[in-house]
Structure 1
Amino acid sequence: MSRSFRSLSFIASNTDDAQASRDELIRLYGHVAPTEADVIVALGGDGFMLQTLHDTMNSGKMIYGMNRGSVGFLMNDFSTERLDERIAQAVENDFHPLQMTTSNADGSISYALAINEVSLFRQSYQAAKLRVVIDGQVRLEELICDGLMVATPVGSTAYNLSAHGPILPLEAPLLALTPVSAFRPRRWRGALLPNRAKVVLEVLEPEKRPVNAVADHSEVKSVLRVEIGQSEDTTAHILSDPDRSWSDRILAEQFAN
């Protein structure tokens, strides 16, 4: 289905390629401020796309990314030709990020959103020791590991995949709970959870085994307890070319070498 739009805003990462591409696209298609645009065109890599999605969350703005970085899994291919036609035919993907709520050793509480994943990591040479609670029920009384993450389908091909977690189809109403170098239980490889599950991770022996928590690029040090759940009242919108949809990309990753 074709979409109508009146104005584009071009934003770019700080690399020379991205900045030069922005200048060329502005010359060809014009430019308005992001707050006034119907569609924001983001030029850069996956990190820049994640930052753009965070910055525009709940704004109603649609983001169309073109790869001027390295991997560019979240981006469409770069081209200066027929951009208005490509955007008009693009597929809209709407999704809810995870919300991370941490209780910290200094008595504070922190909040952050994650499009890819929420991760816990050991802070020192000592392995982390965690208790895993799902929807109020203790599922693992004690997990000894280097880390543990809750990944969305969007993030399942990122750090989650590097930690040998499962790839999740974009339409799957699931989250991946994936350990990093689990020591005990030695054979535990993680779990698939409903996307509406409420996950609580409690840090055991926090003074001896301090743990940091990360939601995408937001890090909180020395956490005691982390609550993770889908944020139903927060939405991001991203556009993908029909021949390079996120669903197709995630499916293709499962057959990649």
Structure 2
Amino acid sequence: MNTKYEKIACVASESPAAQEALAALSKRYDCVPVKEADVIVCLGGDGFLLSTMHDYHHTRLPIYGMNRGTVGFLLNSYTENGLIARLNLAHGVVLNPLRMVATDIDGHKLSALAFNEVALHRYSQQSAHIRVSINGQQRLENLVCDGIMVATPAGSTAYNLSARGPIIPVGSNVLALTPVSPFRPRRWNGALLPHSVTVEFDIIDPFKRPVGASADSFEVRDVSHVSIQEDHSECATILFDPDHCLEERIFSEQFVN
């Protein structure tokens, strides 16, 4: 077998299960620091995989996740056996993040990446009032809601799903625009958008009705304007076992008994 992955770096969450797995793999395989590796093995749950993508996407190293958490939607099953062979049989999925540019009420602009979603959420007892534009064209004059998000396919099974947004197959080149507890317009449940669009949110009366914005775990308070588009200059590659059928998991999530 021609080996393309030989130098393994292992990273793990703080959970006991992940730390035990890290100790076992480090004892069995010659693990190296990330700067010397050609692949990263991530031990934890979906949240830790997301943080690993943020921490190391700049290295361009592929990430092979093994589930030492709970759901593990984007993770392979855990076993100590045959890791090198599994790595070299795995297939990769390239994920491009969203780029959020948020302007706060003082005019400061902050930028951050989101592999899961960019979400807006109200900070007061009053509903948020948000103007929604797509590619420069106003689509909703005033969305009255608790919040709204733009979710990637990888993030569609996370917060987006909790807000009753659609599950999107990875690689579909589609984004989900999903409101959180929408009040007006009545019966507006969101939209599916081409991944090439630019989405803009303008906060109506941001002083009276304060709104925050988050790109995954990065948060900006008191925003007045948020612009979102896919960033093709950035990416993360996630490795999956051949028998890890992501499509089947997506089907299963949509047909829960």
Q: TM-score interval w.r.t. the shorter chain?
A: over 0.9
Give the corresponding residue for 1:175: 175
CA distance in 1 between partners of 2:206 and 2:189 (Å): 23
Residue-by-residue CA offset, 1:4-31 (whole Å, 9 max, x unaligned): 2221011111112111110110111111
Give the corresponding residue for 1:144: 144
Give the corresponding residue for 2:118: 118
Equivalence map 1:185-224=2 (5 Å): 185-224=185-224
Compute the TM-score of the two structures, normalised by the length of structure 1. 0.97
CA distance in 1 between partners of 2:202 and 2:246 (Å): 33
Equivalent residues of 2:132, 2:138 under 8 A apart: yes
CA distance in 2 between partners of 1:92 and 1:249 (Å): 17
Equivalent residues of 2:120, 2:211 under 8 A apart: yes
CA distance in 1 between partners of 2:84 and 2:253 (Å): 29
Displacement of 1:3 in angstroms is 5.5
Give the corresponding residue for 1:65: 65
CA distance in 2 between partners of 1:35 and 1:237 (Å): 17
CA distance in 1 between partners of 2:252 and 2:172 (Å): 15
Displacement of 1:56 in angstroms is 1.3
Give the corresponding residue for 1:19: 19
CA distance in 1 between partners of 2:69 and 2:237 (Å): 21
Equivalent residues of 1:171, 1:247 under 8 A apart: no
CA distance in 2 between partners of 1:250 and 1:54 (Å): 23
Give the corresponding residue for 1:47: 47
Residue-by-residue CA offset, 1:36-85 (whole Å, 9 max, x unaligned): 11111011111110010011113210100111111111211111111111
Displacement of 1:2 in angstroms is 7.0
CA distance in 2 between partners of 1:90 and 1:251 (Å): 21
Cα RMSD, aligned residues only: 1.3
Equivalent residues of 1:91, 1:245 under 8 A apart: no
Compute the TM-score of the two structures, normalised by the length of structure 2. 0.97
2:58 paired with 1:38: no
Equivalent residues of 2:6, 2:84 under 8 A apart: no
Displacement of 1:251 in angstroms is 3.1
Equivalence map 1:125-136=2 (5 Å): 125-136=125-136
3-state SS, counterpart of residue 41 of structure 1: strand
Displacement of 1:107 in angstroms is 2.2
Displacement of 1:253 in angstroms is 1.8
What is the letter of the counterpart of residue 61 of structure 2? K
What is the letter of the counterpart of residue 34 of structure 2? P
Equivalent residues of 1:212, 1:219 under 8 A apart: yes
Gaps of 5+ in 1: none
Equivalent residues of 1:3, 1:89 under 8 A apart: no
Give the corresponding residue for 1:253: 253
User: What is the percent sequence identity of the aligned residues?
Assistant: 50
Give the corresponding residue for 2:101: 101
Residue-by-residue CA offset, 1:169-213 (whole Å, 9 max, x unaligned): 112111000001100002100001000000000000111100000
Displacement of 1:237 in angstroms is 0.8
2:158 paired with 1:153: no
Task: Return closer, same or farther for 1:244/1:256 CA change in 2, 3 Å cut-off.
Answer: farther
Deviates more, 1:38-47 or 1:241-250: 241-250
Displacement of 1:245 in angstroms is 3.8
